[in-house]
Chains A and B, each alone.
Chain A
Amino acid sequence: MARGWMGVCGLVLAFAALCGGAHAAAPPQRIVSLNLCGDQLAWMLAGRGRIAALSHLARSAELSYVAPQVADVPIVQGAAEEILPLAPDLVLAGRYTAKPTVAFLRAKGVPILELSIPQDFAGIRDQVRRVARALGEEPRGEALIAAMDAALAEPAQRHDGPRPVGVAWQAGGFTAGAGTLTDAVLDAAGLDNLATRSGLKGHGYLTLEAMVAGRPDVLIADAALPTQPSLRQALLQHPALARPGALGRRVTVPAPLLACGTPATAEAVRLLRAALAEGTRP
């Protein structure tokens, strides 16, 4: 199988020039991902057989969409000395993955694909196409995009009057405003983002007063709240929010759907639309 041949190639990686010609044409067979989003895209596009290792976050049920499936895939913490012996022929790194590690790998001739951070569905399409091209899986990438677009195209619930208001308000008042993936998800679901409306750009904090004054119809509640007490979580239970009518409804959106822009993010839109269809003010 091609894997054995690539192993030989990996052994002589120091003489990258010898193998370089073959690399350009053949799709990578020993993929290492150092980034949570790269983990998920590599899994969706290439599958188990061609993955040498994923980042340790891939197994985190709180963050990773593919966590249940990757329990037996080798993981790396992200240090150069554990990655190099794996002889990867493609490393997926995030834009903010440890720069010295990535520079070292690049200097050793390891091909690196640097991922962007999609902030909307157009960004997700671009990202999937780039990774699919690098993995030689263009048809699979197009299929994933088509499935995502089909989910997004399902008719949104009709509402008379102004659009309902939604917000993703996490422990401590942390939220996502304009130019974030969460904002794009709320918009696609037919909701006005309270944080964006309050003038927040990027990620930041929304005060309790702004939450009460905004009377959101939908609150995206984190599915993976730790059960141990903290002051930040106590804020989510403040009496001013617990009163009837202060919030329309809490919708649980699993954090992995919003942590990374992947085709699975469309699932978050579907969950929000379903909640809107049930009626926002019970």
Chain B
Amino acid sequence: MLSRVADNLYWMSRYLERAEHVSRLLAVKLETMIEQSGEHAEISWRRIIAALSGDKFASTETIEAFAATQALAFDRLNPSSLINSLRLARDNGRQVREQISTEMWNRLNRLHLKLSPVNLAAIWDDQPSHIFRDIVDDLYMLEGIVYSTMRHSEGWDFLQLGRYIERAQLVTRLLDIHFGPASRAGASPNYVDWITLLRFCTGFEAYCKVYTAAIRRNRVAEFLLFDAGFPHSVRFAVERLAEALGRVAVGAPAARRWACERLAGRLKASMDFGQIDELMGSSIDAFLANISAQCEQIHNAVYAAYIGYDAESAL
């Protein structure tokens, strides 16, 4: 497969994952707003903004729900806004139009056409979370269409790689905000926050199946980090990305493949053998930071090995 095509598929998938994440966070947040008191609502908005934009958690500006939603979803100047993620996903898809199925492309294009004309002010007093639920549903449908209409070969593997590397980083970031240094500044997260965090990751029901409805801080962390079967856990994402990496670029020189697989294997091992109670004692901050750093290294290794390699050396 062309390196540029792999690049576009990989990024298309990352942006779709990001769009799904933003939409779900906003949908959950807007749905739970009514249940939260002023101070708590404010701090949970801060967490969302920190999770989605990388802003400093300790920002002192007052946060207003409408402005925050507008900025996270519709602000074209905010590079990680929902509308920009969908636009970038479509732009990447458009550049590999011949590689993706017509069904996929139509859905991707319609998604973009659907969000563009939405005026948040006009739907705000009604039920603003609906649009974000809709987008999440559309993205699930797109995922199903991809699964059913695209050949599961190298292109599909690059989509998997993009999706799961992005997911591992996004979930890690959410965990960092809830369990890392930020969670110790100001009011510490409470029971409602743990439930909200699970719902941010579509994990509330799945959590209850494993641990019953007893919501405990360490168990929530364990579930979202280490559960092997839950699609939004970091471990699940790491395993899928390692599998995808094992399947791409089979014809590439062994040394290049090894550089990527070694990094993925190392990250996978730390997820397979991590132990939550040990981590929660002291080293959780470093552990989470390390996952992010390793994802970044894998990304760079993939680029060096398969996408941006030196043509002279490959002859």
A and B assemble together? no
